Structure 1
Amino acid sequence: MDVRRVAAVIAAVVVMAAVPAVAEASALSWRPCATTQEPAAECATVDVPIDRGRPELGSAQLALARLPALDPGRRIGSLLVNPGGPGGSGVGFVQFGGLASPDLAQLRQRFDVVGFDPRGDWFSTPRITCDAATLFDPALDRFPSTRAGFDALVAHNRAAGQDCLARTGPLLANADTQSAAEDVETIRAALGEPRISWLGLSYGTELGAIYASKHPGRVRTMVLDGAVDHTRPLRQAILEEAAATEDALVRFAGWCRGSAECVLHGQDVLRFYDDVVARAAQGAIWSSDLGRKATADEVSAGVYNHLYIREEWPLLGKALAAAGGEFPDAKGLTERNQFLSPIYGAYRAIGCHDFPSPFTGPVDMGVMAGLVRTVAPHSWRYSEFWDLTSGCAGWPVPAKNPPQPHPVHGAPPILVVGGAHDPATPLSWARGLAASIDSADLLTRADDGHTGLFNSACARAAEVKYLVSGVTPGRDLVCR
């Protein structure tokens, strides 16, 4: 951040942080919704139009959960949080201890922390609803090399989308992130806040950035952690993410081989992983979680999801060892992949609005699949952008928010956080997102895992300090 800009804004920002925000009257009716983790939690709903251009389609109800500031005399305002997805629940994140870390105590003291479920998600209604068996077929080839295989993939995705549309109704065609960003503005107005603070993780960075692009004057502070750059061409994004997933797997394997904390200590872990995946591809790996043999894609996806949190690497070593043991059971891996999770329908539907398939046919898809295998020779069977774009080939709902620029002009300083070894959101995406925001500073993590909030005490401290003070830590901060 430019030193002169810091000097110019610091006095106003510090005064703003120390004085409770002057809010308009709230239009929300809060009711107790205590949990064991958060006994002070309150819940409410807010109505939003399904389609702001077609009022005849009616409205949707967004679910909200709030943790009132513990120090009301020094309350700054409302901090909206989005934990990611697409399809993640802000309500669940707030109600069940997502901000319970002692490192985040100041946020609980100084803010009303507000989580919300975006349109179509979890406790918001109508909810995106899909038949799980129709949406995911473990026998389907997601890397088809023939016209027949490509046509089968397209037909499957079309049928899955039509099923979701029949079960969900018109909301499915309006579940894009630009519509969700306008919902955030409705929430802000309903809260009675002249400006909001924002903590967005992963997909929450895309949602937050689009909101800031549309309503820069309504932003007080904004953390975009685990950044998604929605301007990136899809083919480029596919390869960048596949390479990031491979990097994370290789780093895990190196740690596991050399650490006594890993049950595969001393072994060639990448070779062990490749063998498990190859055996799964041959139908030789059982999963007691699924009650059937696990596919190679399911095994690979389960490994991927364990790479998110660095502290879970010992658990990943155990799960991988169990999948490759004398009596293999991939339960520890398959129970962590998302194919049969309750949010997979929302994940797919929102993803197809924002990241529609770029593939034109089997040749095009085959070329991209070959490039993915080149940059990710071990982990190629699963990366999120391949899952999205292969799953969106043939999706029957037109995309309302394909990749495009969302420049942010006129907002206060915004903090973008990216990880050099993040398996899901490459550092290049954080750099790209920061470059599209006039007032952004980039914090770089040199450690492992997805998002600084979940993996780095250094990043947590920087994010909390910035959210409270409004002053970013500077362009060149690196958390190691």
Structure 2
Amino acid sequence: MAAVTGIATVAGLAIAPQAGAATVAAGAVRWAPCVSADTPGAECATLEVPVDWAHPDGATFGLAIARRKATDPDARVGSMVFGPGGPGDSGVERVVGGISRFSPEVRRRFDIVSFDPRGVGDSNPVTCSGDLLAGRPSAELSNQADFDATLAYNSRLRADCRARTGPVFDHLDSAQTVQDLEALRAALGEGRLTFHGSSYGTLLGAQYAETYPRRVRSMVLESVIDHSVTSTRDFLRSEAASAQDSFDEFVKWCAAQSSCALHGHDIRAVWQGLLDRARRGELEDPAKPGTALSLADLVNKSALKRFYGADYAELATSIAGMAASSPLPASPTSVAPLPPATPVFCADWHLPVRDYQEYTSLVGVMNRTAPDLPQLLPIQMAAACLGAPTTNPQHRLTAHGAPPILVSNALHDPATGYPWAVSVARQLGRSGALLTYEGRGHGSVTSGPCMENAVDDYLIDLTVPPRGARCPATSS
């Protein structure tokens, strides 16, 4: 059977908060030009780190890392480590492919360094049976038998992925990755860490600040995850609310823009028609002619993904094109694969569901909260984590002794809603500095000169924006 990077869940023991990371010596990294770099100038290396930081003298694996040096060596401040999102994004690919997400001034003053988190990319990736992954059951459960079958499938998949991935599989949670990050700081020879975390990378950054508060120089948490949301219901409701808010913003935008391909139409009615066709297997996938687009892919890939960049014009054009297309003969649609690093998510989020009755109640909560967006990714992730042990569960953030940490979020973020950023800033107390972007999208630190200048001044000169700082939305 084919082996591919896949999903599963994580088992293992919790680690001691400050197990052995400082034993990695400065200068332990041997850089060399990256192979097949799309944009010249990137350097790559491998940092050996323990499989389990609770046993730092045990087995190791190679953590893939990459950097681009500061474009002005004479003005260099130091290294800034970027924490990739996902979970499952490759920081190495971000660096190798170019680092346009950072301002020219940040690129001038810092070496930009990132890594593939454990279980991702070239850092001992999670590997599972392709055949088993292809048999993933739908998250649309109809009865207790479906619920039990999903539990059994998850258990088989965990066993398969563990056997193929090796010992790292039991040590994929973000608490372990915090120690990898601390090892990287030490290997780079930085006395204190300068860090920029985006989306899932904010969970890593916040937990690093909690574990090593006095080793933080500066830290940007962009599009912020609140890891203190403890109940399954509250987590799913908040995720659904953020996604629906972005759909509502899209509808408002289209109503106000004569250039919108759906301007003057009842957008929700047009969209509902597409949802109904997708449910029946009659909606053609624009990217795969002759193939039916599933309801989950219509919602998560056609719509939600475009909300990340507030690509409203492109979404409107896509919806108009699908609405005008001829229906396919009704046919079953396949279950889309989940992100490769789902096991990381399962290790970090304890989202228990007792039985089918509770599960269908949670689906109802999501559908009432996001009536235009059924089958959102978070409920699929919750289904994939059923029965999984969690080694780094949610808890309230405490980072006493940390310097000011910049918490940045758009008011209308489809994945990490603004209330999460407010909550994290409050948990950080005197260390939390909230910077609000009054616009849309997932990620906003370079959304106009106000945002860019505030972030640059903080990272370079440690100038903290005034309390309550807000930046206007750029035109969309």
Seen in structure 2, the aligned counterparts of structure 1 residues 161 and 328 have a Cα distance that, compared at 3 Å, is farther
Q: Which amino acid aligns with 1:228?
A: I
Match of 1:416 among 407, 419, 423: 407
User: Cα deviation per residue 1:48-95 (whole Å; 9 max; x = unaligned)?
Assistant: 111123468611211111111122222111100023111111111111
1:218 maps onto 2:215 in alignment: yes
Mapped contact 1:195–1:220 kept (Cα < 8 A): yes
Mapped contact 2:416–2:442 kept (Cα < 8 A): yes
Mapped contact 1:448–1:455 kept (Cα < 8 A): no
Q: What's the counterpart of residue 340 of structure 2? A: 345
Q: Quote the Cα distance in structure 1 between the aligned partners of 2:147 and 2:349.
A: 19
Q: Quote the Cα distance in structure 2 between the aligned partners of 1:88 and 1:356.
A: 21
Percentage of matched positions with identical amino acids: 35
Seen in structure 2, the aligned counterparts of structure 1 residues 420 and 100 have a Cα distance that, compared at 3 Å, is closer
Q: Which amino acid aligns with 1:353?
A: A
Seen in structure 2, the aligned counterparts of structure 1 residues 457 and 137 have a Cα distance that, compared at 3 Å, is farther
Q: Unpaired segments of 5 or more residues in structure 1?
A: 1-23
Partner of 1:221, secondary structure, is strand
1:308 maps onto 2:308 in alignment: yes
Q: What's the counterpart of residue 317 of structure 1? A: 316
User: Cα deviation per residue 1:108-158 (whole Å; 9 max; x = unaligned)?
Assistant: 11111101111111122x2112345533657x3314242122122222322
Partner of 1:65, secondary structure, is strand
User: Cα deviation per residue 1:287-343 (whole Å; 9 max; x = unaligned)?
Assistant: 264563222111111111111002x222222222233223369xxxx9xx99447xx
Q: What's the counterpart of residue 365 of structure 1? A: 359
**CA shift for structure 1 position 25:** 4.4
Mapped contact 2:286–2:322 kept (Cα < 8 A): no
**CA shift for structure 1 position 380:** 2.8
Q: Unpaired segments of 5 or more residues in structure 2?
A: 1-24
**CA shift for structure 1 position 387:** 2.5
How many residues are paired up?
440
Give 1:230-241 correspondences, 5 Å limit.
Answer: 230-233=227-230, 234-241=232-239
**CA shift for structure 1 position 247:** 0.8
Q: Quote the Cα distance in structure 2 between the aligned partners of 1:133 and 1:326.
A: 33
Q: Quote the Cα distance in structure 2 between the aligned partners of 1:479 and 1:143.
A: 41
Q: What's the counterpart of residue 28 of structure 1? A: 29
Q: TM-score, normalised by structure 1?
A: 0.86
Q: What's the counterpart of residue 381 of structure 2? A: 388
Q: TM-score, normalised by structure 2?
A: 0.87
**CA shift for structure 1 position 37:** 5.5
Q: Quote the Cα distance in structure 2 between the aligned partners of 1:456 and 1:355.
A: 34
Point out the more displaced range, 369-378 or 200-209: 369-378
Mapped contact 2:198–2:221 kept (Cα < 8 A): yes
Match of 2:204 among 202, 207, 232: 207
Q: Which amino acid aligns with 2:145?
A: A
Partner of 1:345, secondary structure, is coil
Mapped contact 2:194–2:219 kept (Cα < 8 A): yes
Give 1:222-261 correspondences, 5 Å limit.
Answer: 222-233=219-230, 234-261=232-259
**CA shift for structure 1 position 100:** 5.8
Q: What's the counterpart of residue 448 of structure 1? A: 440
Q: Quote the Cα distance in structure 2 between the aligned partners of 1:228 and 1:36.
A: 31
**CA shift for structure 1 position 394:** 2.8
Point out the more displaced range, 284-293 or 181-190: 284-293
Q: Quote the Cα distance in structure 2 between the aligned partners of 1:448 and 1:469.
A: 28
Q: Quote the Cα distance in structure 1 between the aligned partners of 2:412 and 2:140.
A: 26
Q: When you count helix as a share of all residues, which structure comes out higher?
A: 1
Q: Which amino acid aligns with 1:51?
A: D
Match of 2:421 among 430, 433, 437: 430
Q: Quote the Cα distance in structure 1 between the aligned partners of 2:255 and 2:37.
A: 39
The root-mean-square deviation of aligned C-alpha atoms, in Å, is 2.3
Q: Quote the Cα distance in structure 1 between the aligned partners of 2:340 and 2:182.
A: 25
User: Cα deviation per residue 1:272-292 (whole Å; 9 max; x = unaligned)?
Assistant: 111111111111112264563
Partner of 2:406, secondary structure, is strand
Q: Quote the Cα distance in structure 2 between the aligned partners of 1:454 and 1:159.
A: 44
Partner of 1:106, secondary structure, is helix
Q: What's the counterpart of residue 76 of structure 1? A: 77
Match of 1:153 among 150, 165, 171: 150
Q: Quote the Cα distance in structure 1 between the aligned partners of 2:101 and 2:57.
A: 42
Partner of 1:230, secondary structure, is coil
Q: What's the counterpart of residue 14 of structure 2? A: none
